[in-house]
Chains A and B, each alone.
Chain A
């Protein structure tokens, strides 16, 4: 099997694994918004088919929703839904493109790994995916896995591709998420640090990136009218992003300055210990070899892109919410080097791979689909992280664990307070058949018959509010991971299921 065929196999295998394990993964808050955006964009696509001129004139109306992210990924969600919803259902159809990007991560990491050895090519994507946090993100119709994939794709294109391919792939990255803004400076510095001949070749490649915004423009119809204003809105949203509260070592962080090593510490705590150790060793090895000027062009680029993925979150002012999802490319770009370390150090590559991957596989088997709650051995697992005062969960997807109970117990038309689950995700659960269609979305515990409270330090007020409203402190049901409360369901006394 050729190297590319092996990479393709791993890519398809990854996408298939995501598709097969996605049904239990809850709809995170952001997916709710992106599903709504995809619905709006799909309506525009239908209009484009029926009345193209009208569609071209009405881009603002259909594309203004979720203006803070470029159009490409949501357009893919919309196209996928248009093509496949009748055969696989609405929510899976929206998620299918995300699985493709998960597959692309494996494909490109395998190619990067194979420049060291074939074994490293196989192991690199496995090291990235064999952790519940990354595996969980691979299922979501969001942008974090796609931008991670596109970062790896740009790396491969920069190292091996021609100008047009690089321009196209960087254009796709730019059209995926604003993390892509950091890539051109890394490529420039990378080119400048290369030996003379390579430097000249790469500096000649760089101007091709000037064409990349055309891809952004083509895939984001919002920019077709008044582009400067919309570009300004996009940039301003992220340069003035709000700071969501985040629980970290017993302290609720509500604003800057954030801890300098926050992203590195969090990686160490949430990842399975062998993977955290290997990625750390890979990072140190790359840095040491950089200091000794022993890095070839690929390893230098991997170091640069990994650094560019994580360093913005060490500025102490960048918003830090969202676990490790914002710097997934940091982990991905260190994976080929980590895989190489395993191959070199372990007595046999298979044994080394087994030792490196088994704890992560166990973590996935044990915690999936509650990916935002996963913590590794260094944190003492989920209960240890709770003792340490770490963010218990985020994004509300853990609510899936209590939906069957609510479906079974709520009387017709019951009002349910879903806490962090937004209206969009609530509708998605109903659309997917995971939540009864007659259950109503209550805006507060006071106006509800049932409450599904997600344990968040910053939302502790909701629980006493529920006690006061219901006149009881006794939960009816809940999701507890390793005895750690995640979602607690209260039922108003007298209602079915109330204790």
Chain B
């Protein structure tokens, strides 16, 4: 069986996953598998509510959840590829270290920024951090240092200003050989 009725998300951390732009999450699980963890607690902890009862299809369980997430204002990185960071496929934009990307979009209230080293190179020890500087309208908005494995997060409240704005993400590190990807979006 393969689900193609909706975008498939393989995020493992139900409590912390971003689910960018997702309002309703259809949770598909093998609930009867030995040692299977009940996902409901993690979803409830993030404020999600079950939209209906769980339905069973043999071993599979399906349940819709409303995430009540802030509305997406703009997807600033608009990635159409996926890359593995911290063992999870992330919809993120691969960017060479030492380069930058500019984007224009609705500002909304909060800028969400995520970044990480792709694949095995993330586990190299003793490597210098990768620093991402974020600018909005030419003014510095925040800095994120990626100094090891993991999907690093930065959420910044945007100062008041025009609804449409320019954003710039500049990536630098003395060790530029590592594959790196980032994702940025704003919510209202």
Whether chain B is bound by chain A comes out as: yes
> CA of A254 to CA of B83 in the docked complex: distance in angstroms?
21
Closest chain B residue, CB of each to CB of A378: B34
Tell me if A463 is interfacial: C-beta within 8 Å of chain B.
yes
Q: How far is the CB of B120 from chain A (nearest CB, A)?
A: 7
Least CB distance, B91 to chain A, in whole angstroms: 9
> Which residues of chain B (73-88) have a CB below 8 Å from chain A?
81-84, 87-88
A464–B83 contact, CB under 8 A? yes
What's the minimum C-beta distance from B166 to chain A, rounded to whole angstroms? Answer: 28
Taking the closest CB of chain A, its distance from the CB of B69, in whole angstroms, is 23
When distances are taken between beta carbons in the complex, the residues of chain B under 8 Å from A467 are 81-82, 89
Known: A381-B34, A387-B33, A387-B35. A463 touches B84 (CB 8 A): yes
Q: State which of A20-28, A129-137, A468-476 sits at the interface with chain B.
A: A468-476
B37 at the interface (CB under 8 A from A): yes
The total of chain B residues at the interface (CB under 8 A) is 21
Q: Is the interface of A mostly helix, strand, loop or mixed?
A: helix
Are B84 and A460 within 8 A (Cβ)? yes
Q: Separation in Å of the A255 CB from the closest CB of chain B?
A: 8
- A458 on interface, CB distance cutoff 8 Å: yes
A475 touches B2 (CB 8 A): yes
Q: A463-B84, A464-B84 are in contact. Are A474 and B33 (CB under 8 A)?
A: no
> Smallest CB–CB gap between B31 and chain A, Å?
11
Q: Map CB proximity to A onto B107-133 as digits: 1 under 8 Å, 0 otherwise.
A: 000000000001110010000000000
- Answer whether A383 and B34 are a contact pair too, CB < 8 Å, given A254-B123, A464-B89, A474-B4: yes
Q: Establish whether residues B120 and A384, one from each chain, have CB atoms under 8 Å apart when the complex forms.
A: no
List A contacts of B6 (CB < 8 A): none
Closest to A387 in B: B35
- Cα of A26 to Cα of B159 in the assembled complex, Å: 61
Chain B residue contacts of A388, Cβ below 8 A: 35
8 A Cβ contacts from A250-281 to B: 252, 254
Given known A483-B30, A483-B59, contact A461–B119 (CB-CB < 8 A): yes
Question: Which interface class (under 10, 10 to 19, 20 to 34, 35 or more) fits A?
Answer: 20 to 34
A461 to B121, CA, bound (A): 11
Distance between Cα atoms of A499 and B2 in the complex (Å)? 10
CA distance A383 to B37 in the complex (A): 12
| Contact call A252/B4, Cβ cutoff below 8 A | no
Residues of A within 8 A of B36 (CB): 387
Interface string of B1-34 (1 = CB under 8 A from A): 0101000100000000000000000000010011
A383–B120 CB distance below 8 A:
no
Give the residues in chain A near B59, CB-CB below 8 Å. Answer: 483
Inter-chain CA distance A467–B37, complex, in Å, is 28
How far does the alpha carbon of A464 sit from the alpha carbon of B90 in the complex, in Å? Answer: 9
Q: Is A89 among interface residues, defined by CB-CB distance under 8 A?
A: no
Task: Give the shortest distance, in Å, between A455 (CB) and chain B (any CB).
Answer: 12
The yes or no answer to A227 lying at the interface (CB within 8 A) is no
Interface residues of A in 371-406 (CB under 8 A from B): 379-381, 383-384, 386-388
Q: Are A383 and B2 in contact (CB under 8 A)?
A: no
**Is A440 an interface residue, CB under 8 A from the partner?**
no
**In the complex, which residue of chain B has the Cβ closest to the Cβ of A473?**
B8
Cα distance, A396 to B2, chains bound together (Å): 24
Asked if B37 and A387 make an inter-chain contact with CB atoms under 8 angstroms apart, the answer reads yes
Distance of A463 Cα from B33 Cα, bound (Å): 24
Complex CA gap A394/B184 in Å reads: 36
Complex Cα distance, B89 from A379, in Å, reads 27
Residues in A whose Cβ lies below 8 Å from that of B119: 461
Cβ of A199: which chain B residues have Cβ within 8 Å of it? none
Q: Can you list, as one digit per residue, whether each of B48-86 has a CB less than 8 Å from chain A (1) or not (0)?
A: 000000000001000000000000000000000111100
- Chain A: which residue is nearest B59 at the CB level? A483
* A256 CB to nearest B CB, Å: 12
- The 8 Å CB contact of B34, one of A380, A458, A473, is A380
Instruction: Report A195 CB to chain B, min CB distance, Å.
Output: 49
CA A16 – CA B30 in complex, angstroms? 40
Known: A467-B82, A468-B82, A474-B4. A460 touches B88 (CB 8 A): yes
CA–CA, A388 to B35, complex, Å? 7
Task: Chain A residues near B81: list those with CB within 8 A.
Answer: 464, 467-468
B83 proximity list for chain A (CB < 8 A): 461, 464-465, 468
The answer to whether B87 and A386 have CB atoms under 8 Å apart is no
Task: Given contacts A380-B34, A387-B35, list 19 more A-B pairs with CB under 8 A.
Answer: A252-B87, A380-B33, A380-B35, A381-B34, A386-B33, A387-B33, A387-B36, A388-B35, A457-B87, A460-B84, A460-B87, A461-B118, A464-B81, A464-B82, A467-B82, A468-B83, A474-B2, A474-B4, A499-B2
Q: Which residues of B contact A (CB under 8 A)?
A: 2, 4, 8, 30, 33-37, 59, 81-84, 87-89, 118-120, 123
5 residue pairs, one from A and one from B, having the closest CB atoms: A380-B34, A384-B34, A461-B84, A387-B35, A461-B119
Show 26 A/B contacts (Cβ-Cβ < 8 Å), sorted by A. Answer: A252-B87, A254-B123, A380-B34, A383-B34, A384-B33, A384-B34, A387-B34, A457-B87, A458-B120, A460-B84, A460-B87, A461-B119, A461-B120, A463-B89, A464-B82, A464-B83, A464-B84, A467-B82, A467-B89, A468-B82, A468-B83, A473-B8, A474-B4, A475-B2, A483-B30, A483-B33
